[in-house]
Structure 1
Amino acid sequence: MKKLGTLVIALVLLAFGACNNSGSKEKFLPPSTGGINSLMVVMDTELWRGPVGEKIRDEFAAQIIGLPQIEPKFTITQVPPKVFKGTTTHSRSLLYVEQDSTSLAHIKDDAYSKPQKVAVVTGPTQEILIKNLDSLADRAIKEFKANEIAEAQRRFKRSLSKDKALDEELGIHLNVPSLYKVGRREGDFVWMDIQIPKGTMNIIAYEMPWDYFSNDSTFVEDIVRMRDSIGQKYIPGPYENTYMITEKAFAPYVFPAEIGGKKAAEVKGVWEIHGYPMAGPFLTYIINDKENNRKVVIEGFTFAPSEAKRDYMFELEAILKTIAFNPSSSAD
């Protein structure tokens, strides 16, 4: 069995070097590379084909909830350690797994490029490798995703919309790419969208009374009622008496969240058109804006029939997570 791998040694040296040379000039690192939501897995191919690889696929390529079809959290590319050199080391998200005498599970920032997250897992047996992967997976996925969100935001900041509809109607600001256009603006409701090859990506924003959700036991039902009423009022389907509603067959998923420095609920699910066969995923944040005695609701939804939707929804999530509240947020 070989000793501690070259990548692990490099990471340890980097860590000690950072401590011992904190006053020295920062080392230049090339920009990281890779498509959004891509993950480079560096490990022996035999390990990849066995139970250790299966554990990685179970965790890092798990199905994303809230999408109408099966899509993985990350698109994984596996390479053996012998080809891990040159530009391959610049991948933005890296998982390095090695069977080694040392047992290790940690995450290193900016080891070979910047910004970069490198998760390192080692262990003397496959059983310990799987145990270490299990202990690190949730944190690694969270940090990989946060890094991907930041990268998506950096990319679309190059050209942002100058439209003031959200600021003027709701007292909020989003970093929205300039290709999104306001299609509807009325009664504290704003709808922006962009054409994509086979459909549209959409952002809507509106406000609700502070006490709209008065009972925790009916919270999910109240969310559906809210979304359906907004859909009926503002988001028509292709024909008369057709409009957006929450899919009836499945209740949406709801999670606690924090966004724009405020507590919120994150809602994921599938929308459909009442009276017409159209559907797609949505992501909603219901934000507690206590200072203005209201709930601010921002949502992204996609219509892209027969297309993968993970990356579309990821871009919308990245946009929504740029929300900032103006000093006098309430739209007077």
Structure 2
Amino acid sequence: MSGAIIALGRVRGCVPLHFPIFPPMRRTLVVPDVLLLGTLLAGLLLLSGCEGDYRPRAVGPIGEITVVMDSSHWTGPSGEALRANVTPWVETLPVSERSFQLRHLELTDERTYERVQDLKNVIIAAPLSDSTNETSFLRRRLSDEAEQAILDGQTAVVPKPNLWRRSQRIYYVAAASPDALAETFQSQGTQIRDTFTEATLQRMDRNMYEDDRRSALEDTLMQRHGFAVNMQSDFQIAVDTTTGSEGFVWLRRLLAQTRREFFVYYVEDVSPDQITPEWIYNTRDSLTRRHLRGNVRGFAKIDYRRPLKTEQRSFLDRYAYDSRGLWYMVAPLGGGNELRPVGGGGPFVNYTFYDQATDRVYMLDGSIFAPDNDKIDLLRQMEVMARTFRTAEGSRSPDASPTAAK
């Protein structure tokens, strides 16, 4: 397989007005001149470009991807490759969850197509060797040159942000054969997932902070520590302390069925070379033993019996370690050093990095306790909160891109 085609032909304007596989019935309709003029003006405004976009936002569960694919491929190697690479199981949760929930549809009629146009996250995929509705849909959007290139062995993985609605992420995926389609998801599934994840975090940022901020507390953090993160209105500062060259702030959101914890730790005079996964784990355990204690007894600790993953990545334009795993409450057994579980636990996400502007090592850590809920979307809220981090010396964390968030 050679590279991916990224240009499709015959896609006219921002909003396709009908589904060509199921053409609308011809009707004769008498329209008053004034109404006709208004309708034409509205249509011109809608199709004059995507600037000043007043279309409704896409709908649907925030953590769901709809896959439009013929059922024979959905249950075959192509569907298996999509599930394994676009929505793999997340093992660093108490019970494994898929990175996105999946919903399967076939383009059986006009009504189904209209439903698809409303949704947040959509993949429309087909091999061009088929004669299915999904294949016909993609063929009609390919130039002759692009179609021939695919039949000759190229693949097409084409993002179409905000195609029919605002805050929407659509992918067209085409290949010559079913086997080639499966190989496409195997080779490019991670990139597709990353795009959906980024769009999801941007949407969550807007939902969390558009009308719900504790700006006064954020200003307090900036004045006292030289950094801030966005806080929803029901977050409280549980611990705020500085000792010598270190600082620690623990933020909490306590609701009836869930608990969210977020802490920021920073230390000066630490070389970036000292930051390793082991340093991160030991530092986190030391901090939670001191500060994140139970109401009656015990303290939070990383559960090393379960999957624990650390990766290097770029975070807010900084070189960082991204760590994910599980925490649980423990207490000393008798008078010795042995620890025993005392109940409670959940997932955490941790970003640790060196900030050159402040000459500090920062650790941003979000964890949740939600025994009766799915965890992945709650943990994403902690990721969104971490992404709002900014310092007095640097600029604010990057705003959500208007492509996906509006």
TM-score when scaled to structure 2?
A: 0.71
Once residues 304 and 380 of structure 2 are traced to their aligned partners in structure 1, the CA distance between those partners, rounded to angstroms, is 24
Deviates more, 1:264-273 or 1:96-105: 96-105
Equivalent residue in structure 2 for 1:201, among 239, 255, 260 = 260
Kindly indicate whether the alpha-carbon contact (under 8 Å) linking 1:253 and 1:269 is maintained by their aligned counterparts in 2.
yes
Kindly indicate whether the alpha-carbon contact (under 8 Å) linking 2:79 and 2:182 is maintained by their aligned counterparts in 1.
no
Kindly indicate whether the alpha-carbon contact (under 8 Å) linking 1:106 and 1:136 is maintained by their aligned counterparts in 2.
no
Once residues 304 and 233 of structure 2 are traced to their aligned partners in structure 1, the CA distance between those partners, rounded to angstroms, is 34
The answer to whether residue 103 in structure 2 is matched with residue 77 in structure 1 is yes
The answer to whether residue 361 in structure 2 is matched with residue 295 in structure 1 is yes
- After TM superposition, the runs of 4+ consecutive aligned structure 1 residues lying more than 6 A away are none
Once residues 394 and 105 of structure 2 are traced to their aligned partners in structure 1, the CA distance between those partners, rounded to angstroms, is 52
Equivalent residue in structure 2 for 1:160, among 204, 207, 213 = 213
Equivalent residue in structure 1 for 2:277, among 212, 220, 230 = 220
Q: Give 1:11 deviation, angstroms.
A: 6.1
After TM superposition, the structure 1 = structure 2 runs for residues 105-124 of structure 1, keeping only pairs within 5 Å, are 105-124=157-176
Once residues 184 and 318 of structure 2 are traced to their aligned partners in structure 1, the CA distance between those partners, rounded to angstroms, is 34
Deviates more, 1:175-184 or 1:145-154: 175-184
Letter in 1 for 2:61: G
Q: Which runs of 5+ in 1 are unaligned?
A: 1-9, 19-23
Equivalent residue in structure 2 for 1:127, among 179, 183, 194 = 179
Counterpart in the other structure of 1:7: none
Kindly indicate whether the alpha-carbon contact (under 8 Å) linking 1:213 and 1:222 is maintained by their aligned counterparts in 2.
no
Q: Give 1:273 deviation, angstroms.
A: 1.6
Q: Deviations over 1:6-28 (max 9, x none)?
A: xxxx96323x758xxxxx83155
Once residues 73 and 322 of structure 2 are traced to their aligned partners in structure 1, the CA distance between those partners, rounded to angstroms, is 37
Q: Give 1:105 deviation, angstroms.
A: 2.4
Q: Deviations over 1:128-168 (max 9, x none)?
A: 11122223311111111100010000111221112134323
Q: Give 1:65 deviation, angstroms.
A: 3.8
Counterpart in the other structure of 2:9: 12
Equivalent residue in structure 1 for 2:80, among 26, 40, 54 = 54
Identity of aligned residues (%): 19
The answer to whether residue 145 in structure 2 is matched with residue 88 in structure 1 is no
Q: Give 1:319 deviation, angstroms.
A: 1.3
Once residues 175 and 318 of structure 2 are traced to their aligned partners in structure 1, the CA distance between those partners, rounded to angstroms, is 41
Kindly indicate whether the alpha-carbon contact (under 8 Å) linking 1:30 and 1:112 is maintained by their aligned counterparts in 2.
no
Q: Deviations over 1:177-218 (max 9, x none)?
A: 2122222222232111212442301111121234266546xx
Letter in 2 for 1:295: V
Q: Deviations over 1:225-260 (max 9, x none)?
A: 1011101211112334x2112113247311122233
Once residues 157 and 83 of structure 2 are traced to their aligned partners in structure 1, the CA distance between those partners, rounded to angstroms, is 17
After TM superposition, the structure 1 = structure 2 runs for residues 145-156 of structure 1, keeping only pairs within 5 Å, are 145-156=197-208
Kindly indicate whether the alpha-carbon contact (under 8 Å) linking 1:209 and 1:295 is maintained by their aligned counterparts in 2.
yes
Q: Give 1:305 deviation, angstroms.
A: 2.0
The answer to whether residue 325 in structure 2 is matched with residue 269 in structure 1 is yes
After TM superposition, the structure 1 = structure 2 runs for residues 90-105 of structure 1, keeping only pairs within 5 Å, are 90-101=118-129, 102=147, 103=150, 104-105=156-157
TM-score when scaled to structure 1?
A: 0.85
Once residues 265 and 182 of structure 1 are traced to their aligned partners in structure 2, the CA distance between those partners, rounded to angstroms, is 25
Q: Deviations over 1:48-69 (max 9, x none)?
A: 1222222222223311142121
Considering only aligned residues, what root-mean-square deviation do their CA atoms show, in Å?
A: 2.4
Deviates more, 1:144-153 or 1:102-111: 102-111
Once residues 234 and 33 of structure 1 are traced to their aligned partners in structure 2, the CA distance between those partners, rounded to angstroms, is 40
Kindly indicate whether the alpha-carbon contact (under 8 Å) linking 2:358 and 2:393 is maintained by their aligned counterparts in 1.
no
Deviates more, 1:319-328 or 1:152-161: 319-328
> Per the alignment, do residues 246 and 12 of structure 1 end up closer, same or farther by CA in structure 2, a change over 3 Å counting?
same
Counterpart in the other structure of 2:42: none
Counterpart in the other structure of 1:316: 382
> Per the alignment, do residues 290 and 220 of structure 1 end up closer, same or farther by CA in structure 2, a change over 3 Å counting?
same
SS in 2 for 1:176: coil
Kindly indicate whether the alpha-carbon contact (under 8 Å) linking 1:272 and 1:279 is maintained by their aligned counterparts in 2.
yes
Length, aligned pairs only: 311
Once residues 89 and 255 of structure 2 are traced to their aligned partners in structure 1, the CA distance between those partners, rounded to angstroms, is 24
Once residues 197 and 43 of structure 1 are traced to their aligned partners in structure 2, the CA distance between those partners, rounded to angstroms, is 41
Q: Deviations over 1:96-140 (max 9, x none)?
A: 012324433222222111222211112342101112222331111
Q: Give 1:72 deviation, angstroms.
A: 0.5
Kindly indicate whether the alpha-carbon contact (under 8 Å) linking 2:292 and 2:299 is maintained by their aligned counterparts in 1.
yes
Letter in 1 for 2:119: S
Once residues 82 and 298 of structure 1 are traced to their aligned partners in structure 2, the CA distance between those partners, rounded to angstroms, is 47
